[in-house]
């Protein structure tokens, strides 16, 4: 299935193409990128319809490194979501980008290629490569098209991800060497490394290397401080990709690599990870409540939501894992939607400060209604997608960590605080400035996101079925966890 690799190189080519097109004629890049992304979407859906597929080409034979891809249910879900969110990112910045449009399209497509690579990689070397690759265009997006403090944010983002990525690289190399020591050959293949019987002590340290990398990306308190800056300073398209999909690579890494490779070490580490998750939920919510910048508030709320994923994954219960998957998708939609809203507001008001808003409902009722739906989704209103994820995460984790789940449930209050802060300060109160309401394109993609939130809120089956096989494998690995107290 060579076509599978197309999901990685095609966005690169298409990105170059739209750069050229934009160079030829101003505005053409938008259309080329859109057509390219739609093509990619078709390809990804077609491949997904064919069922699970894999690809393995020898790459650096000397080190036994392969260009190995695996397109199973979970990967399908993530790749399709990546492409859809990239389309959203493109749609929301259709007219927003005011300089170097060609390069913008290239960066956007480049990051899609990197992210797809992360989701597809079945070889740790390839995984690491893509992990680094997706970092570059994202840094460029922040650095070039970001807001007033973009340099600081971009550098911070870069350093955090680099340093943590370095730890992962060390762990990967050590893992390959362990394989050589035990089995006789170097190996970077995920499937082969899973069967490696590592000594407990070293398993822990290797696990920690991966954990730090994924915890920074997720992000988890106290490794989260890059995120508010990066989110706030990134252009809308960047924020959408960051919140919608880039954070999820951390969760995906945990599901795909950390838990299967080091089940015992992860299990021993679980109390710490779960505690970090709960702290993230509450600290993120509290910090969100204290913010007055629209985007910063949403950024901190993301930290809170990602805490639920960490809590769910490390409780390692079937229901909780389902909850984590649902949260990944739901948060991908709802936070991306809120960042779109922030972008559209900033475009109109030239400010992200909630203090400069207020009473916007009067002039922009559609915008207000949509935002209300997104905020309510974010704070876990039943019937919208996020609630399912949080409920299942809590139900699952309560079975093994009841105290943690109870404290995590307090996040319900915290979310009400910051959710209302955001909605009321922007849209209620005495009418201030007048803004243009949502029109045409904007109304279109907002409506699609509302529908998606409602659909997945009532029918999460599609997501659960697609990811079922991958999760079952993971649950089987944790069979020994049944005997845990």
272 binding another protein? (CB under 8 A): no
Minimum Å distance from CB 129 to another protein?
Answer: 27
Q: How far is the CB of 76 from another protein (least distance, A)?
A: 19
Give whichever of 436 and 459 is closer to another protein, judged by the CB atom. Answer: 459
Q: Does 365 bind another protein (CB under 8 A)?
A: yes
* Positions 195 through 234 that interact with another protein (CB under 8 A): 221-222, 224-225, 228
Among 56, 351, 428, 481, binds another protein (CB under 8 A): 428
Q: Check binding of 444 to another protein (CB under 8 A).
A: no
Q: Is the dihedral of CA 256, 261, 264, 270 positive or negative?
A: negative
412 near another protein, rule: CB under 8 A: yes
User: Is residue 403 part of the contact set for another protein (CB under 8 A)?
Assistant: no
Cα separation, 144 vs 220, in Å, equals: 27
Q: Which is nearer to another protein, 67 or 456 (CB)?
A: 456
Which of 220, 239, 291, 315 lies at the binding interface for another protein (CB under 8 A)?
291
C-beta closer to another protein: residue 169 or 412: 412
Question: Of these, 90, 237, 266, 319, which contacts another protein (CB under 8 A)?
Answer: 319
**Complex with another protein: residue 6 or 432, whichever CB lies closer:** 432
- Number of residues lying near another protein (CB under 8 A): 52
- Give least dist CB 333 to another protein, A: 18
Residue 363 in the binding site for another protein (CB under 8 A): no
User: Is 348 a binder of another protein (CB under 8 A)?
Assistant: no
Whose CA is closest to 315, among 256, 269, 260, 247? Answer: 269
**What is the contact surface with another protein in residues (CB under 8 A)?**
156, 221-222, 224-225, 228, 283, 286-287, 289-291, 318-319, 359, 361-362, 365-366, 369, 376, 381-383, 388, 391-392, 394-395, 398-399, 402, 405-406, 409-410, 412-413, 416-417, 420, 424, 427-431, 458-461, 464
């Amino acid at each position: 299935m060579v076509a599978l690799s197309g999901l990685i190189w095609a966005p690169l080519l298409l990105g170059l193409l739209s750069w050229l097109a934009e160079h030829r004629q101003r505005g053409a890049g938008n259309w080329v990128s859109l057509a390219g992304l739609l093509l990619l979407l078709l390809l990804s859906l077609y491949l997904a319809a064919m069922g699970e597929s894999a690809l393995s080409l020898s790459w650096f034979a000397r080190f036994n490194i392969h260009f190995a891809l695996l397109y199973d249910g979970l990967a399908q879900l993530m790749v399709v979501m990546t492409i859809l969110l990239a389309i959203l990112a493109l749609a929301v910045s259709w007219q927003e980008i005011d300089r170097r449009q060609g390069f913008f399209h290239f960066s956007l497509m480049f990051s899609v290629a990197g992210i797809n690579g992360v989701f597809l990689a079945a070889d740790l070397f390839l995984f690491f490569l893509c992990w680094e690759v997706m970092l570059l265009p994202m840094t460029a997006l922040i650095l070039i098209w970001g807001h007033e403090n973009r340099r600081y944010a971009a550098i911070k983002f870069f350093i955090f991800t680099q340093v943590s990525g370095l730890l992962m690289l060390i762990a990967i190399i050590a893992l390959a060497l362990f394989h050589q020591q035990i089995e006789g050959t170097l190996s970077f293949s995920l499937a082969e490394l899973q069967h490696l019987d590592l000594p407990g002590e070293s398993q822990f340290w290797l696990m920690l290397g991966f954990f730090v990398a994924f915890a920074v990306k997720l992000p988890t308190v106290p490794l989260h401080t890059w995120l508010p800056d990066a989110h706030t300073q990134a252009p809308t398209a960047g924020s959408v990709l960051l919140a919608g999909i880039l954070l999820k690579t951390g969760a995906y890494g945990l599901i795909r690599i950390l838990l299967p490779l080091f089940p015992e070490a992860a299990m021993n580490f679980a109390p710490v990870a779960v505690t970090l998750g709960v702290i993230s939920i509450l600290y993120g919510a509290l910090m969100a409540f204290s913010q007055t910048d629209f985007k910063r508030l949403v950024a901190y709320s993301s930290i809170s939501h990602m805490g639920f994923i960490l809590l769910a994954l490390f409780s390692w219960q079937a229901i909780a894992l389902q909850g984590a998957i649902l949260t990944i998708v739901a948060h991908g939609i709802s936070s991306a939607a809120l960042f779109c809203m922030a972008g559209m507001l900033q475009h109109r008001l030239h400010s992200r400060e909630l203090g400069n808003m207020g009473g916007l409902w009067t002039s922009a009722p559609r915008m207000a209604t949509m935002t209300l739906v997104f905020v309510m989704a974010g704070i876990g209103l039943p019937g919208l997608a996020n609630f399912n994820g949080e409920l299942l995460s809590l139900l699952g984790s309560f079975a093994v960590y009841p105290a943690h789940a109870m404290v995590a449930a307090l996040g319900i209050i915290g979310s009400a605080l910051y959710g209302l802060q955001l909605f009321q300060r922007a849209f209620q109160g005495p009418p201030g400035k007048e803004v243009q309401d949502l029109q045409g394109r904007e109304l279109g993609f907002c409506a699609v996101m509302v529908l998606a939130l409602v659909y997945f809120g009532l029918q999460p089956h599609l997501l659960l079925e697609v990811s079922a096989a991958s999760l079952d494998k993971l649950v089987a690995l944790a069979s020994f966890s049944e005997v845990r107290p």
